[in-house]
A and B are shown apart, each in its own frame.
Chain A
C-alpha cells in the first residue's frame, strides 16, 4: 500500500460523509432517500468512468453499453433463463471487460489520439441502444419489469430503500478505493502520462495498448456492476434510460464539471449535481422537461471556459489560498 492510497483511506471527511449517508434512512423521507440512492449510483458511475475518461484522458461514450450489460443483460438472463443475478453480475462484468478491451484494441488501430476514441465509442453507444431496443430477449423498447423484494440477498435483493442505500454506499466506496488504488499505482502513472503526452510516454517505453486495455477492462466491469445494482433497485429496466448514450454523456458532463483525474472531482460533482438535478426535475419536470440537463449543459460550458480543470480542484486551490492568507495574517 502506497502512502497516496492510504491517504485517501484516511481522509476524515470521507468517513464523516459516509456515516452521514448511512444515517439517512433514520431521518430522510423515502422520496429523498431515493434521491440519495440515485446520487450514490451516479457517484459510482462517475468514478468508474473516471478511470478511463479522467486518468486516461479518453472520453469514452461507450460506457452506456457497459452499464446496459450489467443492467439489461443480467436482468434478462435472470428473467428469461433463471440465471442467478449474482452469477449474472459476474458474467456481465466479464463481458463488459472483454468488450472494453476490444474497444481499446479498435482504437489503437485508428490514430487520431483522443478524438478517435470519442468517435468510435459514441458509435458503439448507439449500437448498444439499438441492440437492446431491437431485441425481444432484452426487453425490446418496452423494457423489463423486475418485481422488488423477491428472494432475498441470495437473489441480489436488498429489500427496501435502506438496503439499497447501504448497497449503493458500499459500491460507491469500492469504486472510490479502486480509483485511489489505480491512481497510486504504476498503471495510474502510465495512464496520466499517456493522457498528457502520448508520444513522449511512448518514447520512454510506456506500452499504450496494454495500459489502456487494462483501464478499460476495470472501468467497464465496474460500470456493469453498478448497472446491475441500478436495475435491481429500479425494478424496471428502461432501455432508453439505462442503455442510452444520453446517460453516459450525463456522466461525462458531471465528471468534467467536478474535475477529471483525481476521484474527488467526479465524486463531489455527482453527489451535488444529481440531487440538485433530481429536485429540479421533481419541481419543474412536468412543465419544463429537460431543465436539469439543460442546466448541466450550461454549467459545463461555463466550467470549460472559465476553469477547465474542474470546479473541485478550483475550489480546493481557492480554499488553500484563503487558508494561506489567513495563516499569513495571524
Chain B
C-alpha cells in the first residue's frame, strides 16, 4: 500500500477512536434518557479548559489532572440532569433541543469570558513524542487516545452487558415503567448515566489535549461530530456508534491530506449526507 495512504488511514483511525469515546457518552445518555445534548461538545471543551487551567496554575499534566476533571464534570452532569433536564424530560423534544442549545451558549461564552477567544495550548509530557514503525509515524498521544478510548468502550460494554448496574441501565432503556416496578430508582439511574456520559468527556478531553490547540467556540464542532457518529451508528447501538466515529475520523484524515485547504474538512460531512440518503437508518440499521 501507498505509504501516504497508510499513514493517513492510521491517523484517521486514531482520531476516530478518540471521537468514538465522545460519542459513546452521548449514546449512553440517549439510550437511557432519550436526550440528545447539543451542549455535549461544550462540556468537552469545558473539561479541556479546566485541564488547561490546572496545567497553567499547578503544572498538572492533563493525563494527571483527569483525576480532578472527571469527578468535576460528572458532578456537573448530574446537576445539569437533575435541575435542568429532568424537569423538562417529559416535554416535547423541541424543548430539550432549545434548552441544551442555550446551555451550549452559556458554557461557550462563559469560557470566552474567563479565558478569552485566543486558541491556547496545554503542554504535556508526551506531546512531541512520536513512534516510528518502519516508514510510518504515529504520534504517541494519539495512540494513547485510541487505546484508552477502545479500552473504556469495552469496559462500558462489559459493564452494561454483564453487571447488575448494567442490567438496571438496560432495563430503564427498554421499559422505564417496568423498571420502576422492579424496584429500580429510575430517576437515579438516569442522573447517574448522564453524569457518566459527561464525566467520560473529561477523559476524552485529556486524551485530545496534548499537541492540540483549544478555543472556547470549538464545542459545536465536537457536538456535530458526535451527532454524526450517533446517526451513522443508528443512535442506540454502541458498536455502530463506535464504527461511525471511526468512519468520521478516517474521512477527516483523508479529506485533510488529499484535498487542499479547509475544503477537505467537508469530506466527513459529505459522507454523512451520502449515508443518510442511502441508508437512512444508519450504516448498520435495518429498516424500521
Contact = CB atoms under 8 A, between A and B. Distances in A.
Touch A–B, Cβ below 8 Å: yes
Contacts of B216: 290
B246 interface: no
Contact of A297 (B105, B230, B264, B269): B105
B265 interface: yes
A120 B273 CA distance: 8
A interface, over-half SS: helix
Interface string B103-131: 11111111011001100000000000000
A126 interface: yes
Nearest to A305: B87
B156 interface: no
Contact of B105 (A110, A118, A253, A288): A253
Contacts of A131: 263, 266
Interface stretch (A30-38, A244-252, A322-330): A244-252
Residue among B38, B94, B217, B221 with most chain A CB within 10 A: B94
Contacts of A133: 262
A305 B269 contact: no
Contacts of A293: 105, 108-109, 112
B217 A289 contact: no
Contact of B94 (A57, A250, A289): A57
A290 B112 CA distance: 6
Contacts of A291: 109, 113
A300 B106 CA distance: 10
Nearest to A308: B95
B102 A300 contact: yes
B286 interface: no
A23 B254 CA distance: 57
Given A122-B224, A126-B221, A297 B273 contact: no
A5 interface: no
B105 A134 contact: no
Interface in A127-180: 127, 130-131, 133-135, 141
A321 interface: no
A115 B36 contact: yes
Nearest to A250: B105
Nearest to A58: B94
B88 A308 contact: yes
B106 A298 contact: yes
Contacts of A106: 273, 276-277
A114 B92 CA distance: 9
Contacts of A123: 224, 227-228, 269, 272-273
A290 B107 CA distance: 11
A304 B113 contact: no
Interface in A297-323: 297-301, 304-305, 308
Nearest to A57: B94
12 contacts: A59-B101, A109-B277, A122-B227, A123-B228, A124-B269, A130-B269, A289-B116, A290-B109, A291-B109, A300-B101, A308-B91, A308-B95
Given A112-B235, A118-B36, A291-B113, 7 more contacts: A59-B97, A123-B224, A123-B228, A127-B266, A127-B270, A253-B105, A290-B216
Q: Which 5 A-B pairs have the closest CB atoms?
A: A297-B105, A134-B262, A290-B109, A297-B106, A300-B102
Interface of B: 36, 38, 84, 87-88, 91-95, 97-99, 101-110, 112-113, 116-117, 216-217, 220-221, 223-224, 227-228, 230-231, 235, 261-266, 269-270, 272-273, 276-277, 280-281, 288
